[in-house]
């Protein structure tokens, strides 16, 4: 294991723990964004460029931003007096049990004993060239559809805010 991999893995685990344990919902969402970015960095360290860049585009660029927008558009301004959970040990025990189960399954599987697969014939460069030449029209239509959906969501949110006044 290399030092950059260990640093990114530690940052990813730390931000995932922060996403689960922070009380402020916006801070949790931002920690989730950092977790997604850390996962993308881990994929890139493992030479899975397509999966890493897809992680950045889909999760960091779309899903996480959508979560942040949803939180900011739907949260109320009045504070809530919810008591903190006093027994987190049950959740910690379940998490440790799940981790041990998955770790034992990975260690017992023959996957770790196989020889590394040969490099794939299709690279990110090839996929990019295909998207920008043969599939440029579907790509542009999808971009327009997503833009229209985002504008529609903003207009609906603005109408709801004006109706509350």
pLDDT in tens, 52-78: 888 898 888 888 888 888 887 777 655
Write down the pLDDT at residue 26: 84
- For residues 122 and 5, the model is more confident at 5
Domain with residue 14: its CATH number is: 1.20.120.1200
Residues 70, 130, single domain; the answer is no
pLDDT in tens, 105-117: 888 887 667 677 6
Write down the pLDDT at residue 63: 84
Residues 1, 64, single domain; the answer is yes
Tokens of 82: 């919810």
Percent of the chain with pLDDT over 70: 84
Write down the pLDDT at residue 97: 94
pLDDT for residue 80 is more than 70: no
pLDDT for residue 18 is more than 80: yes
> Closest by alpha carbon to 65, among 161, 146, 7, 159?
146
> Closest by alpha carbon to 12, among 52, 54, 47, 48?
52
Residues 8, 60, single domain; the answer is yes
Domain that holds residue 159: 118-165
> Has residue 92 been placed in a domain?
no
> Has residue 153 been placed in a domain?
yes
> Has residue 23 been placed in a domain?
yes
pLDDT in tens, 119-150: 667 777 888 888 889 999 988 999 899 888 88
CA angle 111, 117, 122 (to 5 degrees): 135
CB-based contacts of 112: which residues, under 8 Å, 6+ apart? 106
Q: What is the per-residue DSSP string for 23-57?
A: SSHHHHHHHHHHHHHHHHHHHHHTT-HHHHHHIII
What is the count of structural domains for the chain?
2
Distance between terminal CA atoms of the chain?
57
> Has residue 42 been placed in a domain?
yes
Write down the pLDDT at residue 46: 86
Report H helices in the chain. 3-21, 25-45, 49-54, 64-74, 89-108, 124-133, 136-164
């Amino acid at each position: 294991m290399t030092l950059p991999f260990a640093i990114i893995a530690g940052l990813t685990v730390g931000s995932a723990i922060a996403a689960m344990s922070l009380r402020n919902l916006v801070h949790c969402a931002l920690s989730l964004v950092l977790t997604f970015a850390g996962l993308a960095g881990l994929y890139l360290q493992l030479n899975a460029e397509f999966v890493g860049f897809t992680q950045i585009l889909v999760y960091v660029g779309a899903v996480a931003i959508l979560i942040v927008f949803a939180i900011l558009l739907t949260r109320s301004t009045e504070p809530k007096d919810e008591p903190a959970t006093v027994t987190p040990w049950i959740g910690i025990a379940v998490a440790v049990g799940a981790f041990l189960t998955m770790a034992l399954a990975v260690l017992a599987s023959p996957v770790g004993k196989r020889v590394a697969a040969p490099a794939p014939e299709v690279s990110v460069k090839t996929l990019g060239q295909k998207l920008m030449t043969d599939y440029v029209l579907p790509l542009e239509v999808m971009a327009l559809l997503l833009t229209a959906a985002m504008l529609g969501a903003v207009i609906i949110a603005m109408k709801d805010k004006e109706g509350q006044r």
